Amino acid sequence: DTAVSQTPKYLVTQMGNDKSIKCEQNLGHDTMYWYKQDSKKFLKIMFSYNNKELIINETVPNRFSPKSPDKAHLNLHINSLELGDSAVYFCASSPGTGSHNEQFFGPGTRLTVL
């Protein structure tokens, strides 16, 4: 069984469109994250939710809006897509917010904005 799953795996879209990426974890974890991996493979955290509450919000454009309907799901909605949004987006989860916790990553969603 997949622990952290993301859909879609690939997303190709035009500039200006709005798109969503979905993430689900079946590990019973309380905390979920979104990371962006750019073309140079650099990984940076974007958001984190703990029990549906936003706890980390890095300096991300407000075109990006995460939503957590329950603690097993964390979706990412992106408005007015720009070329620079092209990247691989990874969802992750962990048992809690403690720094010692291992984070479990999904397979990634490769977003290409044309």
Partner 1 sequence: AQSVTQLDSQVPVFEEAPVELRCNYSSSVSVYLFWYVQYPNQGLQLLLKYLSGSTLVKGINGFEAEFNKSQTSFHLRKPSVHISDTAEYFCAANGNAGGTSYGKLTFGQGTILTVHP
Residues that bind partner 1 (CB under 8 A): 4, 31, 33, 40-45, 48, 50, 55-56, 90, 92, 94, 96-108
**Closest distance of CB 106 from partner 1, Å:** 5
DSSP SS3 for 84: helix
Q: Which is nearer to partner 1, 10 or 15 (CB)?
A: 10
Q: Are 97 and 106 in contact (CB under 8 A)?
A: no
Q: Which is nearer to partner 1, 4 or 78 (CB)?
A: 4
Between CA 72 and CA 21 the distance in angstroms is 14
Q: Which is nearer to partner 1, 15 or 34 (CB)?
A: 34
Pairing of strands 43-50, 31-37: antiparallel
**Closest distance of CB 77 from partner 1, Å:** 21
Q: How far is CA 76 from CA 18, 48, 99, in A?
A: 11, 11, 23
**Closest distance of CB 10 from partner 1, Å:** 10
Q: Which is nearer to partner 1, 3 or 82 (CB)?
A: 3
Tell me which residue has tokens 């079946």. Answer: 26
